[in-house]
Structure 1
Amino acid sequence: MEQTQFLLPHEKVFRDPVHKYIHIENRIILDLINTPEFQRLRRIKQLGTTSMTFHGAEHTRFAHCLGVYEITRRICDNFARNYPSKKTGDGLWNDDERLVALCAALLHDIGHGPYSHTFEHIFNTDHEAWTRQIITSPQTEVNQILRHVSSDFPEKVASVIAKTYPNEQVVQMISSQIDSDRMDYLLRDAYFTGTNYGTFDLDRIMRVIRPYQDGIAFNIEGMHAIEDYIVSRFQMYQQVYFHPVSRGMEVVLLKLLQRAQFLYHNQQLTDEALPQLLVPFFQKKISVTNYLRLDDDALNTYFNLWRDHPDSILRDLVHRFLDRHPFKSITYQPEQIDLVNKMRDWVKDAGFTREFYSALNNSFDLPYDSYDPSSKEPKTQIELIQPDDTLVELSTKSDIVSALSGHFTGDQRLYFPKEMLLDPQNRTLTPYLQNFQEHINNNSLVN
C-alpha cells in the first residue's frame, strides 16, 4: 500500500498534558478524528464513576484514544528507523503496516458506551464487538473514510481489534501485556487522578521496544523500566481502579439503570419520563445508530428528569447517584456467602428492596502472567531479547515480576445503603441492624 498519498502537506498537532503533543501526519487520521463517531468520545469519561472519588478524573475516551495513537506512532517511527525489514520473513518491521496500526490505535475504544464498563454489565454489550461493528458498518463515517484506503481496509482495522490480523507486531502494539493502550491509560489516569502510582518511564520503554518474528519484544537492558511499568499497573488497580467508593457509585448506577429497565417493562416509565434513547437497549434491539446516540450526557439528562418520578426507588437511586451518596461495603470471602446472603436479607428487613439496594461486587486483576497455552484466554507474555538475540520470558529474569506473576489481586464486596450503619434519625436500631452493625464493626475493611 502506498501510504505517502495520504500524508498531510503539513503536520498538525494536538496539545496534550501527557504526551505534550499528538502529531498528526496523515489525512486519514485527521478525517477519522473529525467524524461524529469519534467526536462522541468527548462525551464519555475515561474512568466512569471514578471522578466521584478522584475529582480530577474528568478526562475522556477521546483524549485516551489520541494518546494511544501517539504512542503507536512513536513505536512505528522507532521500528521504521531502527528495525526496517530488509527481506520478506526477516521478522523486522514492514512500514506498510503503519496505517492499519495507527487507525486501529485511534479507533480501539470507539465502541465504548456511556459510563463505560457499568453500562456493559447491565445491557450485556461488548465495547470491542461494537468497535468492530462501527468500523465495518457502511452507515458510519468512520467506515467511509477507511474505505478511501481500500475496500477491505475497514475489515483489516477491525481484525486488529479482534486480534486476528496476521501481523502479530501490529496486534501486540494495541493489545498485549504491555501495549499502547495500557501505557497511555496508566499515565493519563495517574495524571488526572492526581496520583503517582501509574507513572513509569515511557521514554525508556520506547528506546528498548523492538519487533521480532512473532511480535514485539524488549531489549533486556530495559528490564527495569518494564518492571516499573508492571508495578505501576499493579498499584493503579489497587489504589484507583478498585477503589471501594468508586465501585459503590458504580453499584448505585447499576441499580438505577436496572430499576429504570424494570419500570419500562412494567409500563411505569412513560410520557416525559420515557428515555427514548434507552428504549432499544431495554428491548434488546440495538442498531449502530441507536448505540452511537448514547453518551454520558444523555444518561445524566434522563437521571435529572427522574428526580421527580413517582417511583420512590428510582427517585432515591437518582438522588444517590447525582448527589454522590455511594453505597457502603464490606469485604467477604467465598466461604462466607451464606452469611452474606443473610446480610442481604437484613437489608430487606431494614426497609430496603433487596434487589435494588444490595449487590455483590468483585474486582480482580492479574498484574502479569507468563504464557499458558492451556488457559482459557492465553495472554501474550513479555519477551526480553538477550545480547545473543535469544528470547527469555520476563518473570524468569525479574524477581519483582515473578512475585506478582500469576497472583490475582482484588476483593469481593457486599454493597448496601449507608443507612444500614447509622439510623439518620437516631431511632432505636432493629435487631437486624444491630447484628449487621456488630459484624461490620468487627471487620476493618468497611468502606
Structure 2
Amino acid sequence: MGDPLLVTGLLFGGMLFFLAVGVPIAITLSGVSIAMIAAFWSPMALTMVPMRAFSTTTSFEYLAIPLFVFMASMLQKAKVAEDMYDAMERFFGSVRGGLAIGTVLICTIFACMAGISGASTVSMGMIAVPAMLARGYGKDMALGTVAAGGSLGILIPPSVTMIVYALVSGTSVGKLYAGGLVPGLLLAALFCVYILVRGWLQPSTAGGTSIRAYSWSEKLVGLRGLFFPLVIVVAVLGSMFTGIASVSESAAVGAAGSLIAALCLRRLRWTDVKSACHETLMLSCMIFWIIIGASALSTFYTGMGAGRMIESFVLGLEVNRWVILVGMQLILLLMGMVLDTVGIIMITVPIFLPIILALGFDPVWFGILFIINMEIGFLSPPFGYNLFYLRGVTPPSITMPDIYRSVLPFIAIMTGAIVLMMAVPEIVLWLPRQLF
C-alpha cells in the first residue's frame, strides 16, 4: 500500500512541480492521481476514477453552478451593471470617494445576484475604473475597489464556491449561505469606511475636488437602474431562505430572471444568449474538470490512510486548539496565492474538517473563515484571479505592479475581518441559528 508519509511527499511534490512548470491544475490533479493510483494500488483500480467522476458530477446540487454562471454572464451582457453604476453615481457623486463607495455597493448587489467573482470584477473594471480615473481618483483606489468588491461574489450568497465547499464537506448549503451574508455585508461596509477615511486623509486619491451634486429628481430617475437587480436578489435569496426552492432551483429562478430583465430592458439579443451559453459551458467545464481531478486525488489520499495520519498527528500536538486553527488559516492564505479555489477546497477540506470537528469548532463558522481565505486568494499576488481579470479590461496605462499594490489595503482589511470573526463567532453564526 505504501507509507503515508512517502505518499504525501510524492503527491504534493508532484503537484507543485507540474503547477510550477505551467500545467493546468485540472490536468495536474487528474494526472498525478492516476499515476499514484496505478503505482501504489494497481492499474485495475483506475476503474474507480470514472465511477467517482460520474457519481460526483451528477449530484443535483452541482446543477446550480452552470445556472449561476449563465445568470452572471447574461446580466453582464444586458449591461445591468452600467444601469446600477449610473444610479450609484447620482446618489454618491457628491461624496469624496463616492464613486468608489458606489462601486463597492454595486459589487455587493452583483454578488447577491450572480454568485461568482468574475462577473462584477470584469463589468466594473470596464465601467468604473475609467470613470474614476477620469475624475481624478488614484490608480490604487480605483483598481483596489473593483478587485476587492468583485471578490465578495464568493462570500455573499448565492456563492458558487460555497456550493462546492458544502458538497465536499457535507455542510448544509443553506446554513453556509446564511452564515456568509452578514460577514459579506460587514466586509462591504469595512471597504466603504476605508474609502471614506482614505478620501478624508488623502483627497487626491479619491477624486479631489471633482465631485458633483445631483438633484433629487435626477437621483429618483437613476433608481430605475436598481429595479431589476433588486428584484432578482429578492427572488433568488428569498426563494432559497424561505424554503420555497432548493439551491439549484433558486439558481434556475435567477437564470430565468436574467433573461426576463434583458428582455424588459430591450437588450435580449440572440448573439448575447449564444455567447453567454458558450461562456457558461467553458467555465463550468473548467470547474468540473478540477472537481473530477481533485475528487480522484482526495479518494486516493484518504484510501491510503494519509488523512487519518495527519489528523492523528495534529490532534496529538500539545498545543492550544486556536494555534492549530490559525495554522490552517496561514496554510490556506499561502495556497490561495498559487492554487485555484476549487482545487484548494477539494484537497484540504477532507483533511481539515475532521480535525476541526474533533477540536470542537462549528463547521459552518469554519466554512465561512475558509471562504474568506479563498476570497483573499482572489486578490493575492502573483496569481489572484481578480488581478488578471482587471488587467484584461483596464486601460493600457495600468500595469500589473499597479494592480498588485492596489489590493494590499483590502487584503489587510479581510485579514482583520477573519481575526474579528474568530474572536466573535456570532457574526457568522447568528443568522444560521435564526433561520435554521
What range is the shorter-chain TM-score in? under 0.3
Higher alpha-carbon Rg:
1
Q: Where is the helix percentage greater, Structure 1 or Structure 2?
A: 2
Higher relative contact order (CA 8 A, sep 6+): 2
TM-score, normalising length: structure 2: 0.26
Q: Where is the strand percentage greater, Structure 1 or Structure 2?
A: 1
TM-score, normalising length: structure 1: 0.25
